Amino acid sequence: MESLGALTLMAAWYHADMIIAKLQGGLGNQMFQYAFGRALAEKYGVPLKLDVTMFPSYKYHSLTIDKLAITAPFATNSEIRRFTIHRRRPNWPWKILNLFLHNPKKYVVEKTSYYYPEVLETQPPCLVDGYWLTEKYFLDIEPLIRNEFAIRGESNDYTRQMEEKIKAAEHPVMLHVRRMDFAHDSTMKKFHGTVSPEYYERSIAYIRERIQNPTFFVFSDDPEWARANIHPGAPTEYIGQGAQWNYLDLYLMTLCEHFILANSTFGWWGAWLSKHYRKNITIMPKYMSIKMDSRDLACPGWVVFDDKSLR
C-alpha cells in the first residue's frame, strides 16, 4: 500500500500542470522571460516557477530579478529535470536518445527573435527557453506585470538623492549607454556591438527640438565613458551604480519623462515601466544586435533611428 501511495504521488507530481520559465542574461532579459512565463501561466491558470540554474556561474550577469516584487518561486532541480530531459542535444549519445526523449511541447525553445503568437498556444506543463523580446506577449496582463516589477530590494542614499533631482526636473530625459560587456568582451562585441555617438547626438537633438528645458539623466554601466562622450548641451546628471544596484538605476529610469535607449533591454524596461510610456518621446536604435532589428521591441509611437554601426 505504501508503494502504491508513493507511485500515486509520483504520477500526480509528473502530471501537475505548471510553467517553468528559464531565466538567463541580464536583468532586462530576465524580466522579459518572467513576463512571458507569467502571461502563459495566467492564460492557463497554472503556477509559474523559475529555472535559475544558469546563475550564479553565469559569466556576464547575476540573478537580480528577485529584487523586484515577483511572486513566482524558484523551481526545484527535480522539477527542472522533469522537462530538461526532453531538450534536444547535439552531442553523443543524445543524437540517439533524442529520438526517444526529445519533446518540443515539454521543453519549448524560442524559434525566432521576433513575435510569433502561436507560441502562446503552448499547453502546460512545460519549460519555456528563450528571450521573448516584445510586449505583445504580455500586454493582456500589463497591470499584473507592472505590479510584479515594482522594486522591493533595499534602497540607498544616492538613489534617494537622484530621485529628488529627477522629480524636481521640469522635463527629465533618460539616456541609456550600454558599453561594458558589449564594448570589451569579444563575443558580446561581435554579436551586439554598441550604438554610436552619432546616434546619441541625433537623439538628443530630436529631444531638444521638441522639449523645452530638458534635464538629461545619463545612465551607464561605464559612467566615465559617458561623461567623456555624451554632452547633451543641457543640465545633465551621470548615473551608474554598478551591477549590485542595477535595480535601483532601473527604478530611477522609470521616474523620467522621455527616453533615449541603447540596444539594451534594461533601458527598454526603464521606458516601459514609466507612467509616461504611452505619451512621451522614446527613441531607440533600429538594431538591438547585429542580427536583430527592433520591429517587435519598439512600442507604438516610439521613434526608431537607424545606426549604421549596428548593421
Ranking 67-81, 97-111, 257-271 by mean pLDDT, the lowest is 97-111
**Is the N-terminal amide bond of 143 cis, ω within 30° of 0?**
no
Q: Strand 126-129: give its sheet, edge to edge.
A: 48-51, 19-22, 126-129, 107-109
Secondary element (H or E) of residue 236: strand 236-239
DSSP notation for 115-170: --GGGGGPPSSEEEES----GGGTGGGHHHHHHHTSB-S---HHHHHHHHHHHHSS
CA trace torsion 300, 301, 307, 310 (10° rounding)? -20
pLDDT class of 13 with cuts at 50, 70, 90: very low
Q: Name the residue with higher pLDDT: 192 or 175.
A: 175
- pTM of the prediction? 0.89
Displacement of CA 65 from its chain's centroid (Å): 10
Question: Could you give the CA distance from residue 13 to residue 76 in angstroms, rounded to a whole number?
Answer: 12
pLDDT class of 183 with cuts at 50, 70, 90: very low
Secondary element (H or E) of residue 285: strand 282-285
| C-alpha torsion sign, points 31, 132, 269, 229 | positive
Contact 145, 38 (CB under 8 A): yes
Answer whether residue 184 shows pLDDT above 50: no
Q: Which of 181, 148, 129 is nearest to 24 (CA)?
A: 129
How high is the pLDDT of residue 264?
Answer: 93
Percentages of the chain per state (helix, strand, coil), in multiples of 5: 45, 15, 40
Contact 64, 55 (CB under 8 A): no
Residue type, 123: Q
pLDDT class of 180 with cuts at 50, 70, 90: low
A 10 A CB-CB count for 228 gives 9
102-127: pLDDT as tens digits: 687 999 999 999 999 999 999 999 99
Instruction: For residue 144, count CB atoms less than 10 angstroms from its CB and return exposed for 0-12, middle for 13-18, buried for 19 or more.
Output: middle
In three-state form (DSSP H/G/I as H, E/B as E, the rest C), the secondary structure along 97-111 is HHHHHCCCCCEEECC
Backbone angles phi, psi at 174, to 5 degrees: -85, 130
The set of cell numbers assigned to 55 is 546563475
pLDDT class of 279 with cuts at 50, 70, 90: confident
The set of cell numbers assigned to 174 is 533618460
DSSP state, residue 66? G
How high is the pLDDT of residue 6?
Answer: 37
Ranking 9-13, 222-226, 307-311 by mean pLDDT, the lowest is 9-13
Residue type, 270: G
Q: Name the residue with higher pLDDT: 205 or 92.
A: 205
Residue 80's SS3 state is helix
